[in-house]
Amino acid sequence: MERQGDGKIGRFSSAVRIVSCFAALAAFPASARGADDPFGVDASIPPRPLLAAQDGSDFTPCLPRPLGAVYGLLDVVDQALCRNPQTREAWASARAQAAEVGVARAAYLPRIDAGVTASRQRADGDAATARGASLTLSWLLYDSGARDADLEAARQLLLAASGALDATVQTVFLAAMQAYYDAQAARAALDAAWQSEKASRESLAAAETRHRVGAATPADSLQARTAWSQTVLDRIRAEGLAETALGALASVMGFDAGTPVALDAIPDAAPGAAFERDVEALIAEARRLRPDLLAAEARFRAAQAGVERARAAGRPTLSLSAGPAWQDTGSIRADRQSIGLTLTLPLFSGHETTYRVRAAEARAEAAGAQREALRQQIALDVWTNHQNLVTATQAVKSAADLLSSAEQSERVALGRYKAGVGTLLDLLNAQSALAKARVQRIQAALDWFVSRAALARAVGALDSRLLLPAAEFPIP
């Protein structure tokens, strides 16, 4: 009996070796590519969102900046892409979806499971111990295309996740540029407020001097003092807006809102004609480049694969199972080896398959409608941002002329008032117009930068080329 058991255990061990060969065959991709990524899905993961220099410089992305460092536009966008949680979340989602592709590919390989059991029973004073072990290989050989549909859906959803990552990167890119230029505009408005306050103080001194010598009435001094008080109030408000803008900029860069951020000099706008192309051509380019549209197209194809998956659920499947098993109850010791094929023919599922197919078809139709809606929205985005950029370009030129005229008018009005041939009201009006012209000149220039970036984002071509000193519109 014992020798028989030893023989059975020997046959069991032989069966284990046979099944182990299956396991080694199934694990071949793991040994070929690495246990952490046996299917090599890491190659399909989009790269980490980092800013790449376009001018051949030795720029290093995500480099920590020392406290008190001066940030330019390149630094702001770099920190935003590296530290903003939105980009990290989108990249993590893309990596997760790449892993889902591996899950879908794993369904083509066999499964090997081992089981061990042990139990002890007592009845009428007698105790019996039972032990057993098994090793089972199960392999789905044919499933009417269900696994193919799952793999195709996973691949398409990975493309959708990659497109969503690109769209998120461009969104954060644009938000960083917007925050940078808003902060620069607020700083410029503060500088203009200081200049207005200085000019108003000079007008107040002139009015008081004329009043002391009897060349002006007390009303002039009161009006001048009121105007000066108004400029002080405007300057205080401008300081608050500047601090708020810097806080928003720090937040976009991934810092706390109270983190001090020092900015470089305000850039000069140089409107060109590179963007002045046929709007229809820009719309066609946008529909080719926009990552969110590419993602919507991939989601539509994934939904179509879902329809095939739902249909395959109601079709036959063929599976292979094999493996040895051993059992010892104390009085009986036995082992067995088995191999078999199982053909499953779904005959009736309570119409579940019918309604699952209908639901999948409806989801595919909805995904197609979302794709078409986005195509229309892209056309509107390009049209709107193109018109905004045209307007901003004209505004830069007009604001420069307005500032030049306002400066000349203020100088003439101040000279006339000091000479006693002009009125204080003329001087105050000229100074007010000059203050507004200064702010409008800077705001127009910075609006032009933002409008250009917004159009590039609408086309789907917003990248680091716009950060170069003499950047052209990034559409060939």
Other CB atoms within a 10 A radius of the CB of residue 375 amount to 16
The upper half-sphere exposure of residue 466, i.e. CA atoms within 13 Å in the direction of its Cβ, equals 29
Burial class (CB in 10 A: 0-12, 13-18, 19+), 369: exposed
Overall average pLDDT of the 10-32 stretch: 48
**75-108 residue pLDDT tens:** 999 999 998 889 999 999 999 999 999 999 999 9
Burial class (CB in 10 A: 0-12, 13-18, 19+), 70: exposed
214, 42 Cβ separation under 8 angstroms: no
Structure tokens at 176: 């960083």
**383-406 residue pLDDT tens:** 999 999 989 888 988 998 998 999
Query: Residue 209's Cα: distance from chain center in Å?
Result: 61
Q: Does the CA dihedral 188-190-196-198 come out positive or negative?
A: negative
95, 162 Cβ separation under 8 angstroms: no
Asked whether the predicted pLDDT for residue 14 surpasses 50, the reply is no
Overall average pLDDT of the 456-475 stretch: 74
Domains, in order of start, for the chain: 1-34+110-142+315-348 (2.20.200.10), 48-83+144-314+353-467 (1.20.1600.10)
- Closest among 53, 84, 259, 76 to 179, alpha carbons compared: 76
Burial 215-243 (b: 16+ CB within 10 A, else e): ebeeebbebbbebbeebeebbeebeebbe
* Whole-number Cα distances in Å, 300 to 157, 306, 311, 357, 412: 9, 10, 17, 16, 67
Tell me whether strands 317-328 and 126-142 are parallel, antiparallel or unpaired: antiparallel
Q: Considering only 83-87, 173-177, 420-424, which range has the smallest mean pLDDT?
A: 420-424
Residue type, 304: Q
Predicted pLDDT at 5: 41
Overall average pLDDT of the 44-53 stretch: 83
* Per-residue pLDDT band at 474 (split at 50, 70, 90): low
* Whole-number Cα distances in Å, 455 to 105, 188, 290: 41, 24, 12
Radius of gyration of the chain (CA): 37
Predicted pLDDT at 327: 86
470, 54 Cβ separation under 8 angstroms: no
Predicted pLDDT at 252: 92
Element (H, E) at 253: none
Q: Considering only 111-115, 123-127, 288-292, which range has the smallest mean pLDDT?
A: 123-127
461, 289 Cβ separation under 8 angstroms: yes
Asked whether the predicted pLDDT for residue 173 surpasses 60, the reply is yes
Name the residue with higher pLDDT: 61 or 125.
61
Other CB atoms within a 10 A radius of the CB of residue 301 amount to 20
- Closest among 319, 309, 291, 323 to 19, alpha carbons compared: 323
The mean predicted confidence, pLDDT, of the chain is: 85
**223-245 residue pLDDT tens:** 888 888 988 999 999 999 999 99
Predicted pLDDT at 461: 87
Residue type, 429: N
Other CB atoms within a 10 A radius of the CB of residue 73 amount to 21
433, 409 Cβ separation under 8 angstroms: yes
Q: At what angle do helices 146-212 and 352-419 cross, to 10 degrees?
A: 20
* Whole-number Cα distances in Å, 389 to 23, 164, 258: 63, 26, 33
Residue type, 105: R
Asked whether the predicted pLDDT for residue 410 surpasses 70, the reply is yes
Predicted pLDDT at 12: 41
* Per-residue pLDDT band at 2 (split at 50, 70, 90): very low
Asked whether the predicted pLDDT for residue 246 surpasses 50, the reply is yes
Overall average pLDDT of the 283-312 stretch: 95
For residues 329 and 118, give the distance between their C-alpha atoms in angstroms, rounded to a whole number: 10
